[in-house]
Amino acid sequence: MTKSMTGFATRAGRHEGWSWSWDIRSVNGRGLDIRLRMPDWIEGLEQAVRKHVSQRAARGSVTVSLKLQRDAAADDSALDPEALTRALDRLRNVAEAAESAGVSIAPVTAADVLALPGVMRGNAEERDMGGLAKAVLADLAPLMDAFDAARDAEGTALADVIGAQIARIAELTAHSAQLADERRGAQAETLRTNMAKVMDSADKVDPGRLEQELALLVVKSDVTEEIDRLGAHVEAARVLLAEDGPIGRKFDFLTQEFNREANTLCSKAGSAELTRTGLDLKTVIDQMREQVQNVE
């Protein structure tokens, strides 16, 4: 099944006076880039998230966010003014440094500040957080299932689009072969006419040189190899599209091969109709390559 690099999923939960929301989203990327935005006081959380993501995704820029909040009715902790002042000073220094460096950082909410270690007496780091950590981590597998389902759905739609583009390339390749066959008679007649002109106007013609020039003209105008390779690429693309697992890199390389043959076909066309067909081929190939950039 074709899988897209683009996906999105959310999940929310509650446990003993705590509530949380997971958010995972991904966009195109050359490799696998995992970015995490979550509390650092839940032991083993970051390692678990990276493990889950790397097991499910092979490519893409994946961002995972976790927002945790203590319910007001369940919060029996007290604010530590000195710790709050220190935390705000640190946040202010970070914001100023980021601004001077031209770096944009996400806004910090009051809930984010209160969740910082030490700000609340008796908060997270002074409680037994084992139950909360277990409940939060238990949501990871369902979150990744939903994420995979979203990427699979997008991948199915991508496969349909790419499959239609492959079919169109096959049609244009067959039409190119037909046009190439039809032009052979006209080319032969043109060649005979030009040869007669050369023979009539020249006092002495070197037969060897003439033979070389004729052979060169035939090679320059023959598009049989290009059409054959385009046909082979079409079959390779169909096989690749039906494969399981990551295929994006291979498909991107294959579209480059498609484009190379279409360029050569246009340069050797020798007729307006075949040139137009070659340009149509290039257009469809470019459109297909844009879609392939989304494939994992």
Alpha helices in the chain (DSSP H): 45-56, 81-100, 110-114, 130-138, 140-201, 207-221, 224-241, 248-267, 272-292
Supply the DSSP symbol for 126: G
Sequential DSSP letters for 206-259: -HHHHHHHHHHHHHHH--HHHHHHHHHHHHHHHHHHT--S--HHHHHHHHHHHH
In this predicted structure, the answer to whether residue 115 has a pLDDT above a threshold of 80 is no
Question: CATH 1.20.140 spans which residues of the chain?
Answer: 152-292
DSSP reduced 3-state for 271? coil
Give the Cα separation of 9 and 23 in Å (integer). Answer: 6
Give the Cα separation of 39 and 111 in Å (integer). Answer: 12
DSSP reduced 3-state for 294? coil
- Lowest-confidence segment of 172-176, 215-219, 278-282, 286-290 by average pLDDT: 215-219
Percent of the chain with pLDDT over 90: 48
CB 19 within 8 A of CB 132: no
Question: What separation in angstroms does the CA of 231 have from each of 84, 155, 183, 254?
Answer: 69, 25, 20, 12
- Lowest-confidence segment of 107-121, 183-197, 221-235, 264-278 by average pLDDT: 183-197
Give the phi and the psi of residue 43 in degrees, each rounded to 5.
-65, 135
In this predicted structure, the answer to whether residue 191 has a pLDDT above a threshold of 60 is no
Q: CATH assignment of 152-292?
A: 1.20.140
Mean pLDDT (whole number) for 231-250: 93
Mean pLDDT (whole number) for 106-133: 69
CB 25 within 8 A of CB 144: no
Give the Cα separation of 55 and 47 in Å (integer). Answer: 12
Cα pseudo-dihedral 107, 110, 113, 115, rounded to 10: -120
Task: For the full predicted model, state whether its pTM sits above 0.75.
Answer: no
Give the phi and the psi of residue 96 in degrees, each rounded to 5.
-65, -40
pLDDT at 99: 83
In this predicted structure, the answer to whether residue 220 has a pLDDT above a threshold of 70 is no
Give the Cα separation of 192 and 125 in Å (integer). Answer: 92
Higher pLDDT, 208 or 254: 254
CB 20 within 8 A of CB 68: yes
